[in-house]
Amino acid sequence: MSADILIQTEAVTRRFGGFTALKNVSVGFERGKLTSIIGPNGAGKSTYFNVLSGAFPPSEGRVVFDGQDLAGKKQHDFAHIGIAKSFQITNIFPNFSVLENVRIALQAKVARLNFWKNRDSLKLSDEAYVLLDKVGLGALANRPSRELAHGQQRALEIAIALAADPKLLLMDEPTAGMSPEETRSMMDLILALAGERTVILVEHKMKMVMGISDRIVVLHHGELLAVGKLDDIRANDEVKRVYLGQH
Ligand SMILES: Nc1ncnc2c1ncn2[C@@H]1O[C@H](COP(=O)(O)OP(=O)(O)OP(=O)(O)O)[C@@H](O)[C@H]1O
């Protein structure tokens, strides 16, 4: 595996009963880059996301992260080895403040790394504020999380995911259900995050990822249709055909 590749799927197939949702997908995701996985409805994007994030083991093939074969690893091992995900189903404790939610996530990491030591609580709050500022929620730190708007809840989920300081951040449709304004600020946030770590994004809307991705992976009917830089994908006739008439 090239040193530039952080995570790689090798001939990954995933079946559900007799149905094959992913067929023989081999992709290397470059370190420090923002790669988007796109494809029309039912293309296998969520299945691929779940394989990359450890929720579903592949039926065949393997996933290699930072040189390590992930076969047999459980979902919670993925967080320990540096893979974090932010996804549509919310992870947030609604009655806790925004700050508390991030503090809990930070505490979980500290407890894991250094379980005999109580982390200085002020230091934990400082770190939580840094993460909240990063995602644009610093001013809302003391609000109960349930009062946040949808876009703000997604931003909080990202702060929670970042608390583990992951090498890889996986995001599933981060702008789903957002207003145009929320979408723009989420895209700015994704770009800022991609400047400092490897990000893989699953997205239904091709337009949304076109301007921000370093590389694009296109799935169709569970198969890899194309992978490349924006211009290669734009010029790809098969991709055009699949997306014809779509936004
Ligand atoms: N748990 C499951 N059991 C059975 N079939 C499944 C399961 N999960 C996904 N599938 C099927 O696999 C195919 C790919 O689904 P997947 O959700 O991965 O596609 P997708 O590209 O994310 O689609 P969408 O954009 O509509 O969310 C679909 O035909 C779906 O019905």
Q: pLDDT by residue (tens digit) across 200-221?
A: 999 887 778 888 999 999 999 9
Tokens 């074969």: give the residue: 69
Residue 137 Cβ inside 6 Å of ligand 1? The answer reads no
pTM for the model: 0.89
- Using the atom order of ligand 1, give the atom closest to the CA of residue 50: 18
Q: Would you say 201 and 154 are in contact if contact means Cβ atoms under 8 Å apart?
A: no
Question: pLDDT tens, 159-205?
Answer: 999 998 999 999 999 988 888 898 999 999 999 999 899 999 998 87
What is the residue extent of each domain of the chain?
1-76+199-247
- Using the atom order of ligand 1, give the atom closest to the CA of residue 21: 12
Residue 47 Cβ inside 6 Å of ligand 1? The answer reads yes
Residue 50 Cβ inside 6 Å of ligand 1? The answer reads no
Residue 28 Cβ inside 6 Å of ligand 1? The answer reads no
- Quote the Cα angle for 65-71-75, to 5°: 80
Give this complex's ipTM.
0.94
Question: pLDDT tens, 24-72?
Answer: 999 999 999 999 999 988 999 999 999 999 889 999 999 999 999 999 8
Residue 39 Cβ inside 6 Å of ligand 1? The answer reads yes
- Using the atom order of ligand 1, give the atom closest to the CA of residue 202: 22
What amino acid is encoded at 222 in this protein?
A: G
Separation of alpha carbons 133 and 37, rounded Å? 28
What is the residue with the minimal CA distance to atom 2 of ligand 1?
16
The verdict on domain 1-76+199-247 having CATH code 3.40.50.300 is yes
Helix (H, G, I), strand (E, B) or coil at 229: coil
- Using the atom order of ligand 1, give the atom closest to the CA of residue 204: 25
